[in-house]
Each structure stands twice: as C-alpha cells, then as structure tokens.
Structure 1
C-alpha cells in the first residue's frame, strides 16, 4: 500500500487494541532473552519476555530475578524452554548480542550486531534458521528497505526467503495491481500463444480488469451467459423436491430466450432481486437455517419442541435477526418478534414461510466464483442495474474468489473437500510458467503481488483481526485500498459492533480521498479526508447515509471533513490515543 495508508494503519490499530495486550506467540526453535519472575514446583517458572509473561517448564534449575538466553524446545499448554547461556543479568547489551551470534554460529559483523540489536529492541523472538537466512539475504542487499522488510517478516513469523521478501515488497510498492494486470494483458495480446493456459490467462485478466481499461467500453453479457447465471443461481442448494421444478423452468427459459429480449430482461430482473435479498450469512448459518426449516416443513402443523428450540437458538444472534427483519414483510416481522419474545408453535404461523422463501434465495456456495464473475460483468455493462452497495460487494467478491488468493488453501483441502479452484489468476500464471508459454517481468511482478497479498491479507491474534488488501478496477483504473480492524466476539469471529474500516481511494473527481469509519457499539463516526472542502457534500448526503446504515441496525452519529496535513508522513488519526494504547500494551500476558 502507499505511504499515506501505511502511516494511518498503526494509529487505527493502536486505537482498537484498547487496553488489550497482544499475546506472545512461541514457535519451536526460537531464541530470546528472558528474566525469571517466579519459580514454581517441578522446574516450572514464570518467565518475563519484554512486556509478556509465560509459564513454562525448564530443563535445569535457575535463579529468580536473573536473565537468561532461552531456546523454545516445544510449545503447547505448558511450553518447554532450554537455558542456552548462564545468567546474563550483569552482561551488557553488546555482550548479549555477541553471545547470541556465537550461539547461532554467526559472524559478529557490525551489520549483524545492529540487526540483532534491533530484534532485541523490538522484542522479536526468532528461530536460528530464520535469523541465519535473514542475515544471509541482508548481506547481499544491505539497504534500509531490505532490513525493514526482513524484520517485518521475522515479526510476522513468515518464511524467510527471497520469494517472500519480493512478494511483500511488491504489495508495499506504489504500483497498483490493476495496472500490473493491464500490463500483463497487453503483453499477452501482443505475443499470442497457442498454449491453452496462456489463452485462459488472457480471458481471466479480461474478466478481472475493468473492460473500459482495455477496449474503451464494457462488454455486455451474451444471452447464453445470462442463462448460465440464472441456472447457477437456481440449481445449487435446492431440495430434491425442487429439482424437477427448476429443471423444467430452465428448459422453458432456454427454449424461449433465443432472440427474446423480454425474457432476457426478466431473467436480469430476477438476478437483481436475488442480489437484493442477500443476507450475508455464513455457510454454517445458512446450513443451520435450511436444516431446521426443512425439519419444520416436514413436521407440518406440529413442529417438535426440538425444532423450535433450534430455531430459537439461531435467532438469538442479534446480527442475523436484524438482517432477517430488513427483508421480511412487515406482518412477518411482527410475528417473528413475538416468537423471539415467546418461542412457541403458535407464533410460527405468519413468518415461517416468508423466512423459508428468503433463505432459499441466498446465493449458493457452489460455483460462486463463476457466479460473481458473471455478476461483475453484468454490472459493468449495466451500471444502473444494481445499487451501489451490491456493486461494491459483487466486485470485491469477484476479485477475492477469482484472483487465487486462496489457491494453496484449495490445493491443501482438495482431497478432504473435493474442491478444485480451476482457472484462478494465480493458478494460470503458475501454469503458464510451467508450460513456458508466457513469462517475463510482467507475469513475475503480478505473481509477486498476488503472493504478497496472500501473506499480508490477514493478521490475526487471539482477540484481534486486521485485514489489509487492494481491490483493483472498482473505480476506473485505480485500486481501492481497504484496511479493516476488528475485535473478535465470543465465538472468535469478527465483532461487527466494534470495528474500524479505512478506505484509501483515487477518484476521478475528488482525487485522493481517505474515509475513516469507526464503529463503537454499532454507532458510526465517519471522517473524510480530502484536499477539497467536502463539508457541504457530506451534509447533503448525511440523511441518505443515516437511512442506509439504519437498515442494518447501525446509528450514524457524526460525519466530518478534515483536510490532509501538509506532511503526508505525519498523517495520523486521533494521535492522542497513542499514550493509552502504548501503556496498555505493556500489560503482562500469561500463556
């Protein structure tokens, strides 16, 4: 991401940590300095590592209040540590660094000593093999940027390789992924290949890039592609009793749609209505609703107490309930609220059928990569078809599903799940290298950027989640950069009541724009940064924004405009919160 956005991120992260210290993650083979705080029976001790405390089992007896160099032998509920050196309490930092390098069999050069000192200063535990590899890479490229990236990889516990370094460097560069895709597309077009993978790669790039960036105008869906989209939406996640009806409907559409613009329009309208009915439920929630509603349907007029209890449990999720209320008829909503306050068979009558119909309209998990690709192309050809909200969701999901950011995960889980992500952008680039059908600098740069996005997409701890990514081609030829921070709820999922989202945009009319949306207990505070005074524009659209957020049970509290500071490197959101966050980060965490 660009320098402006990376300067914003630490401030947002500091605000959201909010008196929650980040736990120390141990890995086998790590070496780090620690101080004994308390001795327990059976060679167990409480060890202080920087601002963190862990309870661990030690190999040999040691003394309280003494510092030692430890190596992690094993992790788990009770980690096991080995004492590498004798007490280092009276040893200077320089001598400690010398001992560490000697233990790791590394040369005590000035560069190596400075590198290790920075790790100690930032309290970053490292493994011997990782530190050796990092110093070897740094030896061949002793630039501040390389050093910073290597320390970042060690802190994130990412693989220390040239490939990983290049990948993270690519995603932190100022070159947008959209422009890189366009560059590769143009190279492939100029050097046509008979290779199947190369031709597939051209097609996938054309699907992910905004058509106007290639041909100057969007390419409309063919009649057959609209039929395919309609069929994909109807075929998956249906009960056996519905299969005959759906097959008959599809055959009827196919027989009458050839050259029939009215039928094509009807199908398009059905797709739009389907999108408007989406609840953004997880696959697990959708499965649970389908299961209990099917049970209630089979039990006809006499649903079992068990089924009513299961339905009651699903509706205890207030976020899900609010989504249902937005899409159900008013009469059904009233009956649903009666059921929530008093779950029984009598309060099922008015809303169980509308709910079943609504759940059956949810997009299937099968073939969703193809579904969202077709929806994106439909949206580009008909920009007035979908509301802005749906346009954003369609485009983001299309990229995340078809770029191949989960390609390795799909391979690892293919045998267990029977899935195979064919035709993703990353897969086809790798395949083209294997076939030697296309290569060059453009393909390598794009591959590095995709890999870098995979490595930096999610940073997760026990109680905190940070997502950072770029989505290409949503607004013209520029990327939209998104940073998302959230606590986790009791089920370790994203807590939508408390989160913060930052958008960094390059817009045709407004130019560079930063949007900071802070959510506290579902109360939204919105701040827009721009070099133009947007106060009047914000006031004009505030009622519409407030109404839209209210539909999702969020309350818009404030909207404000702020200009960018003169020095972009000084850009920060609410810097006054830093002192609190720094102080809170020093709280001890016992593992």
Structure 2
C-alpha cells in the first residue's frame, strides 16, 4: 500500500513539451554570446543554444518568437523586455498580435512574460476572449495562466472544468448529487448514489447483502463477468465453476424478476423479501474477508519487472522439472545455453535491484512464505551458476509461493471491480484498520471517478475481453444527462462532470526530469467535512514514476478541530523532514504525542524521520490550498525542495 507508487500510476498523460515550439512567444535572457550570431539563452527554466536574427546584448532580456526548430532553434526578436520598458513592451506585443492593449489584457500578458510562460498568438487571443467575458478577473487570470503554463487547450470546456474545480467543493457537489438522486428509480442514478457513498467512505442506506444482490444481478443482466472472475481469483468461487452455471443459479433465484430489460435496483431488492436467501457462494463476512485478502495481495509491477519475473520463473521451473543432478548433464546444459544462463542471471540481478521479490514478500502475512521468497531470491540464481550443488527444495517451495501470488493478480478492469467491492464492503469490514480504510477510500476515488477512463488501454487477454469496464461516476452522470427520468438536475450533473474533468486535467504534469501530481479528495477520506488537497512532486525514475526516495509531498487540510493545516513532507534519500503549518500553537502537544507513531510507521516503510517542526501559518501559505497550486505554495512559504 505505497501511496507514492500508487499515485505515480494514476494518470497517463502526455509529457509537457519543454522544448520551444515553432510560433511560440517567450521571454528570454541572453546568457552568453557565441560566434556566427548564436547565443546561449535562458528560456524559462532551461538554457538553449539558439540562432539569432539580430545582434543582441549579453545580460539583456527580450521577447522572442520561435522560428524553425528542425536543426537549430531560431529566435526572432519581437522587442526588448526589460522592466524599465515593461508597459511599452507589452503594448507593442499586443499591437503586433492584433489584440487591444486594454489594462486587463496588458496585465494578463505581462504576467505571462514575467513567469516566462511560452504561448502561441492564437492561444493568447482565445485567452483574452475568455478573460473579457468573466467578472472575477483575478480568478480568471490565474486559471488562464495555469492553462497556458500546462499547455492545455485554450477553450471554453477546459476553462469551465478548471473554474469549477477552483470555485466548487468536491464534497458538496457529491452530497448534492446524492440528495437529488436518492429517490430516483433509474439504474444510473441509483448506481451513482451507491458509488458516491463508497467514494465518501460512508455507510450505505442498504446492507452489504442487499447492494451485492443489486451488483450481481445488474452484471448478470448485461452478461458482464467482472464479479464472477473476481470471485474465482479471490477463492470465493471454485475455479471449476463456469459462468453459465453461475449465471443460471442467480437467474433461477431471481425468477421472473430478472426477465426482460429490467435494471431497477428496487426490483432486485424486492425479490429479497419474496425469495429464499440469495445464492452467495459463502457468508457475506467471509466473502468480505476474501476480498480484503486479495486486495492486499495486488502489486502493480512495471512492464520490465513483470517480464523479468516471468522469464526468471519460467527458466527456474524448466531446470527444476528436468531435475538436473549430474555434473555432466548440467555441463551439457551450460554449454548449450550460455545465453539463457546469462539472461536469467541478469533478470535476477534486475529483480534484486528493483526489490521486486521483497515487495511481493511484504504482501504475505505468514513469516514462512516471506522466508521462502527471500530464500528463493538468494538460491534460485545458483541453479545457473553452481548447478548440482544447489539445494532445490527451498527453490521449489519459493517458486510455488510465487506462482500462487501470480495467479491472484488482477488485470486493470478487475482491479477496478475489486476496488468497487471493497468500497461497498469497507463500512461492514470491522477488521479494516484506520490506515486500510483511508487507503480503500483513496483507491475508490482514484479508480472509480472516471479520472483514467480516456487512458484505459484496450483489452488484450481473454480474461480482459470477458470483463466489462466498471461504470465510473463520470459515465453514470453522462448517462443521467441523457435520461429524462433522472432526478439529478442537469446543472448539478454538469458541474460534477466539470470538476472531475478539472481534476483529470490538473492531476499530472510531467517534464523529462520530473513529475508533479495534484489531487483532490472528499474530506470524508480523513473524517473532515471539507476537501483534502494533495500535491506531490519529485524527480522521475527511468520507469516514468516519481522517485519515492527523492520527492516532496504537501497536504492541504481543513480539519474539524485544527482548521486550516498544511503538512509538508520533504524526502531526500528516504530521510523525511515533516513541517506542519497551523494557526494554533496548541497543535504542538498532539504532534509530539504522535511523533513516536509517525517515526515507527515511516521506519516500517523504509523511511527515517529526521525532523518534525511546527510553524505558524502565514497568510501567503494558505491562499493556494483552494486551487492546489504547488508553485504558489512554494513561493508563499519559501521552502527549499
């Protein structure tokens, strides 16, 4: 349950293009003049060697327009951009672009220049059009600057999504959707209510038994095998049970209620009072326990890690099956498979460097299995270096544990189905710790709101093709907008969709060296009435994830007792410095009380707590918590990352 790793895999977005693009206007400073009219120019956060079209002065700042970028970056000077000539510079630029140099337009453009945000002329014209129509110029300007900085499309739908995210509360909108849909009879509305209840981590109005009947009968009605496949993986259903048999059992139980195009949950619930007990494979509490067990066994490995593990396990199994015992036999294999031997040794070295088996071992609660996996990592490579002298029984047992773990891994769609079941069962799972409950709520938010729908890959395996994409909150709301019987007001559904789109647009920003995530959760995740904001940034690993050894995490909270609170975690070489910002000095006592638990918890995850500081919140620090802008936060508090 590594939060950093989980969030790193959240949203797959295009990398923000750091290199200048043809046609962009950008502020730059001449750092060094080179022969043949070339220069080293500071463009934003990067330095580039560029071909200039005029003689310029070292140390001076200019507004450039990017010409060709094919072989050499060519920069055309628009005007000098020194502070002393700021107003005339902006006015000249706007006139050249055919934009009225009004006071507000000059202010927007000057901030783009000051922040060295590159922009296309067409984008600035579109931004100005959006800017002129809005009354709150300050908020509009900040949103437009964010759109241009993140290189988002400058169009109305994107602006509305970011504006709704900025101005509205996720928690309040979810409550409004739930209130309006609470008495609806449409399938999408009822499903939205159930999903929001899970997203907020609250107890549902119906029992786990009742909601499970609705879930299963809805799937059976559309021939979806999601829960069926999940139940087999979790050991809830026998592996030999066919889907046809499972479907027939539930259809027979429901009888006439399941015939025809019926999707109303009330219909299925009505059958509970008229029929014998529903044919669940086992008691609900035991089912919930099995789901919890497989939930904690999931480990999303990177593609290279999966491939190395698969190759290593296959080669080990081949050697064990042959049960090579004589030195001459082993020598023969060695002479005819030197390439394979070297490849397997490299795979094991790679798995060791990535701590893959260590991560898998940590998922097992039994010490025996943990030890078997550790022994496997140590002894299995010797099959290919020492041959006959290797003790094979521990390797066989370790391989068996690995294969058992591998057989319980779920594809992306079934992981979503599992999250949906866990969200439903969480309120009735008394065995969940507080940390586990929070993790389930966060996973539900990340997997089932629709944040990843556009980036979901097409099904490839037979199992994936037999499963159906889980309905997200966004897709359910889109269905409600098309259904005249829906009781959710269109303006409420649209706002909820907009805030989810806003979350998706700002969830990740990526450059060639770094990653930044900005996320927002309903406050119920931590028992608060107000939304929780989380910003995380760090250097990017070779696999494209945030390096958990070197990163920076900030939580913006509005707690019931301590009110506005910012928690800043600075991680360098797995050493963690924690700073808590709050208006109340009395927060020091509870912080000191929990320091030992914090230190112990970090040590369990392989981190070391080096400091815990309490600082007073200043006015500049908390202004960015609503729009969740890490850049403004860093500027306001002046923290070095």
- Report if TM-score (shorter chain) is over 0.5: yes
Smaller-chain TM-score bracket: 0.7 to 0.9
Residue 491 (structure 2) pairs with residue 427 (structure 1): no
The 2-side partners of 1:186 and 1:226 are apart by 21
Residue 378 of structure 1: CA displacement? 0.8
Runs of 4+ in 1 over 6 A off after TM superposition: 86-91, 225-230, 249-255, 259-262, 340-343, 415-420, 570-577
1:47 to 37, 41, 44: 41
Residue 308 (structure 2) pairs with residue 308 (structure 1): no
The 1-side partners of 2:634 and 2:45 are apart by 25
> Partner of 1:393 in structure 2?
439
Where 1:518 maps in the other structure, the secondary structure is: strand
Residue 571 (structure 2) pairs with residue 519 (structure 1): yes
Alignment of 1:199-348 (within 5 A): 200-212=191-203, 215=205, 219=208, 231-233=228-230, 235=232, 246-248=239-241, 263-282=283-302, 285-286=305-306, 288-299=308-319, 300=321, 301=323, 305-306=341-342, 308-326=344-362, 327=364, 329=368, 331-332=371-372, 335-336=375-376, 338-339=378-379, 344=385, 346=390
Alignment of 1:118-517 (within 5 A): 118-141=111-134, 143-173=137-167, 175-189=168-182, 192=184, 197-198=188-189, 200-212=191-203, 215=205, 219=208, 231-233=228-230, 235=232, 246-248=239-241, 263-282=283-302, 285-286=305-306, 288-299=308-319, 300=321, 301=323, 305-306=341-342, 308-326=344-362, 327=364, 329=368, 331-332=371-372, 335-336=375-376, 338-339=378-379, 344=385, 346=390, 349-350=393-394, 351-382=398-429, 384-410=430-456, 414=458, 421=469, 423-435=471-483, 439-472=489-522, 473-476=524-527, 477-507=529-559, 512-517=564-569
Residue 87 of structure 1: CA displacement? 7.7
Give the structure, 1 or 2, with the largest relative contact order (CA under 8 Å, sep 6 or more).
1
Residue 454 of structure 1: CA displacement? 1.0
User: Contact 1:185–1:202 at 8 Å: present in 2 too?
Assistant: yes
User: Contact 1:220–1:381 at 8 Å: present in 2 too?
Assistant: no
Q: C-alpha deviations, 1:505-554, integer Å up to 9, x for none?
A: 44556655543333221123334455473555445544444444333322
User: Contact 1:432–1:439 at 8 Å: present in 2 too?
Assistant: no
The 2-side partners of 1:155 and 1:91 are apart by 25
Q: C-alpha deviations, 1:234-288, integer Å up to 9, x for none?
A: 656x9xxx9x972249989989x96789654443333333234344534653454
Where 2:505 maps in the other structure, the secondary structure is: helix
Where 1:170 maps in the other structure, the secondary structure is: helix
The 1-side partners of 2:570 and 2:28 are apart by 38
Where 1:449 maps in the other structure, the secondary structure is: helix
Name stretches of at least 5 consecutive residues in structure 2 with no aligned partner.
Answer: 1-15, 217-224, 251-276, 325-332, 334-339, 625-631
Tell me: CA distance 1:424–1:348, structure 2 relative to 1, closer, same or farther (3 Å): farther
Alignment of 1:11-30 (within 5 A): 24-30=18-24
The 2-side partners of 1:168 and 1:110 are apart by 24
Q: What root-mean-square deviation, in Å, do the aligned CA atoms of Structure 1 and Structure 2 show?
A: 4.4
Where 2:240 maps in the other structure, the secondary structure is: helix
Question: Which one is further off, 136-145 or 500-509?
Answer: 500-509
1:556 to 591, 595, 609: 609
Question: Which one is further off, 446-455 or 264-273?
Answer: 264-273
User: Contact 2:621–2:633 at 8 Å: present in 1 too?
Assistant: no
The 1-side partners of 2:639 and 2:288 are apart by 54
User: Contact 2:173–2:492 at 8 Å: present in 1 too?
Assistant: yes
Question: Which one is further off, 147-156 or 513-522?
Answer: 513-522
The 1-side partners of 2:80 and 2:291 are apart by 70
Question: Which one is further off, 22-31 or 467-476?
Answer: 22-31
Tell me: CA distance 1:397–1:305, structure 2 relative to 1, closer, same or farther (3 Å): same
The 2-side partners of 1:574 and 1:105 are apart by 36
User: Contact 1:286–1:359 at 8 Å: present in 2 too?
Assistant: no
1:98 to 82, 91, 94: 91
The 1-side partners of 2:344 and 2:45 are apart by 49
The 2-side partners of 1:188 and 1:223 are apart by 20
Tell me: CA distance 1:427–1:155, structure 2 relative to 1, closer, same or farther (3 Å): same
Where 1:144 maps in the other structure, the secondary structure is: helix
> Partner of 2:33 in structure 1?
38
Tell me: CA distance 1:167–1:187, structure 2 relative to 1, closer, same or farther (3 Å): same
The 1-side partners of 2:452 and 2:636 are apart by 38
Give the structure-1-normalised TM-score. 0.76
Where 1:26 maps in the other structure, the secondary structure is: coil
User: Contact 1:295–1:307 at 8 Å: present in 2 too?
Assistant: no
Residue 56 of structure 1: CA displacement? 3.6
Question: Which one is further off, 501-510 or 451-460?
Answer: 501-510
User: Contact 1:221–1:378 at 8 Å: present in 2 too?
Assistant: no
Q: C-alpha deviations, 1:375-425, integer Å up to 9, x for none?
A: 11111222x222333323322222211111123334xx5599998745222
Tell me: CA distance 1:567–1:575, structure 2 relative to 1, closer, same or farther (3 Å): closer
User: Contact 1:46–1:56 at 8 Å: present in 2 too?
Assistant: yes
Residue 226 of structure 1: CA displacement? 9.8
Where 2:65 maps in the other structure, the secondary structure is: strand
User: Contact 2:50–2:75 at 8 Å: present in 1 too?
Assistant: no
The 2-side partners of 1:245 and 1:269 are apart by 16
Residue 569 of structure 1: CA displacement? 4.5
The 2-side partners of 1:90 and 1:166 are apart by 33
Tell me how many residue pairs correspond in the alignment. 544
Where 2:531 maps in the other structure, the secondary structure is: strand
Give the structure-2-normalised TM-score. 0.71
Residue 151 (structure 2) pairs with residue 111 (structure 1): no
